[in-house]
Each structure stands twice: as C-alpha cells, then as structure tokens.
C-alpha cells in the first residue's frame, strides 16, 4: 500500500475514509504541514491540534479533489491547508470571538457571582439598616457611652476620646464595649 500512487490512495479514501490509506497519504504530505507550522503561529495550538486540523483538511480535500480540474493533489491540499491556517489565525484574533470565549454566563455561574460580587443594592440596604440602628441605639446609651460612641463614629481613637472626655482609657474601653453590645442587641432583634 505504501508504493501506491496518490490517485490510487485517493480512490481508496473516496470509498472508505477509515482506510489505512489516510495515514499513508497524511505521512506523504506531512512536510507541507511542517512548512506551514514554521511559517505561522496559531495561539493555543500544539502538535496534536495541527495534526488534527491537517487530517480534517486532508479528508475534505480528498472528497473535493477532481482529477480533471486540478493537476496536482499536493498543490490543492497545500492551498486548502494554508487557507485553513489563515482561518484559524483569524478566528483566534477576532475580538468578537475572543470576548465570547472569555465571557461567563451569569445564569450558569449564579452561585459563584452571588458569593464573590457585591450587590450594591444589598450594600445600600445594609448601610441604611445600620444607620437606622445607630439612631435607635442612641437613646439607650448613658451619657458616657453616648460620648464615646459618638467619638468612635467620627473616627477618633480611644486615647483621643479619653483625653477629650477626661476619662481613663479603661473607662473609654468599657463604655465602647457596652455601647457596641447594646448595638448588637438591637441588631439581633
């Protein structure tokens, strides 16, 4: 079978594409593929991908090749394989296709997005609830707790609050803990 001509191998393949003639013809025209691999780069393609594309083009070329219209099967195969390489390069570089490959479906990945992306409406709702809770907790606080809580809300340190209110740092810490506990109780209700 190795000594058969291209025309004989093509005839065998037209009858049965699973014929061993496919691999013989592929090996015979493998230098065409190697030359194209040296000339062109297709992102993400390894040797197996190149071989697979070349085999697909070889199969379709065998089906389309007409002896009376084309002089050489090799030239027709080389032309079709080169055009396929150009198509693959064009596809890999097309922005539209690149974005389609990189995009994710929100519906398909809903659990992932729900856990990782903040929902601005939910954050706003939480902020409003926290603000409301602060206003509700203020009447429950003693005068010392109220002044310490106000200092914390304005971003002051415990040391600065103790100096401003003429309290010791342990007194400020205790008032801070009591006011935070009262706020937690309110939020738990």
Quote the pLDDT of residue 129.
82
Rounded CA separation 98/88 (Å): 12
Residue 73 maps to a domain: yes
- pLDDT of 24 over the 60 cut: yes
Residues 98 and 124 both lie in one domain: no
Name the helix (H) or strand (E) containing 160. Answer: helix 158-165
Under DSSP, is residue 56 helix (H, G, I), strand (E, B) or coil?
Answer: helix
Is the confidence at residue 162, as pLDDT, over 70? Answer: yes
Same-domain check for residues 10 and 76? yes
Separation of alpha carbons 76 and 70, rounded Å: 7
Q: How large is the average pLDDT for residues 118-124?
A: 70
Whether residue 69 is found in the same domain as residue 147:
no
For residue 180, the number of C-alpha atoms closer than 13 Å in the C-beta half-sphere is 9
Asked if residue 96 and residue 19 are part of one domain, the reply reads yes
63 and 140 together in one domain? no
Give domain status of residue 1, yes or no.
no
Whether residue 135 is predicted with pLDDT greater than 90 in this model: the reply is no
Place of tokens 């602060």: 134
51 within some domain: yes
Top-confidence residue, 31 or 7: 31
Q: Are residues 12 and 88 in the same domain?
A: yes
Domain membership flag for residue 107 = no
Assess whether 90 and 124 both reside in one domain. no
Percent of the chain surpassing pLDDT 90? 24
**Residues ≥6 apart with Cβ < 8 Å to 76:** 61, 64, 65, 70
**Quick one: pLDDT at residue 97?**
62
pLDDT of residue 31: 92
Domain, as residue range, for 124 = 120-188
Domain boundary (48, 68, 102) is at: 102
Q: Are residues 36 and 96 in the same domain?
A: yes
Do residue 128 and residue 60 come from a single domain? Answer: no
Number of domains making up the chain: 2
| Residues 29 and 78 placed together within one structural domain of the fold | yes
DSSP conformational letter for 117: S
Residue 175, domain member (yes or no): yes
**Is residue 38 in a domain?**
yes
């Amino acid at each position: 079978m190795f000594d058969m001509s291209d025309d004989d191998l093509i005839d065998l393949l037209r009858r049965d594409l699973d014929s061993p003639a496919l691999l013989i013809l592929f090996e015979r025209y493998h230098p065409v593929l190697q030359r194209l691999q040296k000339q062109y780069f297709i992102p993400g393609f390894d040797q197996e991908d190149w071989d697979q594309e070349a085999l697909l083009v070889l199969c379709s070329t065998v089906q389309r090749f007409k002896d009376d219209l084309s002089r050489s099967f090799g030239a027709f195969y080389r032309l079709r394989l080169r055009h396929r390489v150009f198509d693959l390069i064009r596809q890999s570089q097309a922005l539209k296709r690149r974005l389609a490959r990189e995009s994710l479906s929100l519906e398909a990945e809903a659990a992932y997005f729900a856990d990782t992306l903040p929902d601005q409406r939910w954050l706003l709702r939480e902020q409003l609830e926290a603000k409301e809770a602060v206003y509700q907790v203020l009447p429950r606080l003693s005068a010392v707790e109220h002044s310490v809580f106000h200092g914390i809300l304005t971003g002051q340190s415990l040391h600065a609050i103790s100096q401003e209110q003429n309290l010791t740092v342990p007194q400020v810490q205790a008032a801070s803990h009591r006011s935070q506990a009262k706020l937690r109780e309110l939020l738990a209700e």
